[in-house]
Structure 1
């Protein structure tokens, strides 16, 4: 265990992980612009059908991030300043919701292709490790306007994310009792964009990065979130327009009025 801890804490280990992590947005964005990530409405449309249970697969791959983050913080032994407590709490709250509460609330979840599962686990390992190590090793005053501006944006993103997930869950229950599998979502930011949950999650991690002020892993996470979710939002937006001839023309894909 001591050997693992020593390797975990090495500066070279951290720097190598950040270097690899920083390349991922440059790989993800172009790849996902041409290929649909095989989960959700695009599940089973990627070559050989090799899928896992949607709920269990989602739980496992998402739970990797808080485990890696918490392990990094525990091994690094921070002094637990208010700055570190708030950022650690924000990270764990988001991922407890995403990995445990979200699949429990979902009426159903489409099968998860093993490729998406493996890639997500790899991403979450780098994501949780690098951000956990940064938070454990850095601290600053929470009485800076940037910190609270960032955390306010994070809270708005979290609340918006949960709210729009709830709208989708309710819509899914209705479609399961009807003849159609999908329907046009309405309410909240759905009146302006096709994927407000993606927009909300981007808000969360942008706010988190602003609150840190200068965390490289946090800003890489913002870039990775955009690289992952925005191409999928474009594909989802196009899918809605093709699926529903009466789909609102004023809606954008992910950013209200803009994109």
Structure 2
């Protein structure tokens, strides 16, 4: 049974089909998310019918799919284990351990996630983990200047993402601890890149995967992932930015951009 799964998993036609489907997703996501809010977080329950799942459990489950499929692909391809492969694999696992385990544990609370967002994320993460894991398992380039530049960019993006998530978690905890009869439910975030943009966590995550794609030199799945990250998060950042401005009116810093400091 394992040999049958492995043969199908490694078939060039399986991989090429997955990459082809994966490559279409950014072009579907961007226009869709410019029109409709992805129904999770502050935009949960915005699709009419409330088919929502527990925030923490559904988040953890849909995020853990990616490292599972990535690791399975590595096991099946039996990579040589070069520094290039080890560091790219470690970066992937570190990111998704944070997203699927540490992130929901750090969060004081998480809004419900609509079943459509949950199912879409699982599909995305299956394709994402599978295609990138196969590519890393089959390729090994020199750990040259481009590789180290990309890995440094990834590390800076990851650290920034964790840091700015922490600011939001503290605000969420503050909201829960305040007297609900007198305190506002939402607060304006400050600190770090929040002084320049409304969504530095989205900017940081995009930076991570741009760096990762740069480090690979030529990985098509990694390039798709970087583009898909921007296609997913930038429209949400723009909507979140507008939400902040509407929520706080003139009190919200007018100089802040949505996601890219000084530009967007």
Is the structural similarity TM-score above 0.5? Answer: yes
User: 1:174, CA displacement in angstroms?
Assistant: 1.1
Quote the RMSD (CA, aligned, Å): 0.5
Aligned pair count reads: 258
User: 1:45, CA displacement in angstroms?
Assistant: 1.0
C-alpha distance in structure 2 between counterparts of 1:94 and 1:254, whole Å = 20
Task: Map residues 184-203 of structure 1 onto 2, 5 A cutoff.
Answer: 184-203=188-207
Who is 1:99 aligned against? 100
User: 1:104, CA displacement in angstroms?
Assistant: 0.4
C-alpha distance in structure 2 between counterparts of 1:56 and 1:182, whole Å = 23
C-alpha distance in structure 2 between counterparts of 1:226 and 1:97, whole Å = 20
C-alpha distance in structure 2 between counterparts of 1:46 and 1:196, whole Å = 26
| 1:117 maps to 2:118 | yes
C-alpha distance in structure 1 between counterparts of 2:197 and 2:41, whole Å = 18
C-alpha distance in structure 2 between counterparts of 1:26 and 1:158, whole Å = 25
C-alpha distance in structure 1 between counterparts of 2:174 and 2:121, whole Å = 30
Structure 1 residue aligned with 2:258, among 246, 253, 258? Answer: 253
Who is 2:244 aligned against? 240
User: 1:22, CA displacement in angstroms?
Assistant: 0.2
C-alpha distance in structure 2 between counterparts of 1:35 and 1:138, whole Å = 38
Who is 1:5 aligned against? 6
Q: Which runs of no fewer than 5 residues in structure 2 stay unpaired?
A: none
Who is 1:166 aligned against? 166
- Name which of structure 1's ranges 21-30 and 1-10 shifts more when overlaid on structure 2: 1-10
C-alpha distance in structure 2 between counterparts of 1:181 and 1:21, whole Å = 38
User: 1:2, CA displacement in angstroms?
Assistant: 1.4
Q: Which runs of no fewer than 5 residues in structure 1 stay unpaired?
A: none
Please, what TM-score do these two structures have when normalized by structure 1?
0.99
User: 1:117, CA displacement in angstroms?
Assistant: 0.2
Who is 1:141 aligned against? 142
User: 1:154, CA displacement in angstroms?
Assistant: 0.3
Secondary structure of the residue aligned to 1:244 is helix
Please, what TM-score do these two structures have when normalized by structure 2?
0.97
Per-residue CA shift, 1:133-182, capped at 9, x if unaligned? 0000000111x110000000000000000000001111111111222211
Who is 1:214 aligned against? 218
C-alpha distance in structure 1 between counterparts of 2:119 and 2:185, whole Å = 28
C-alpha distance in structure 1 between counterparts of 2:23 and 2:11, whole Å = 18
Give the 4+ runs in structure 1 shifted more than 2 A.
none
Task: Map residues 83-98 of structure 1 onto 2, 5 A cutoff.
Answer: 83-98=84-99
User: 1:23, CA displacement in angstroms?
Assistant: 0.2
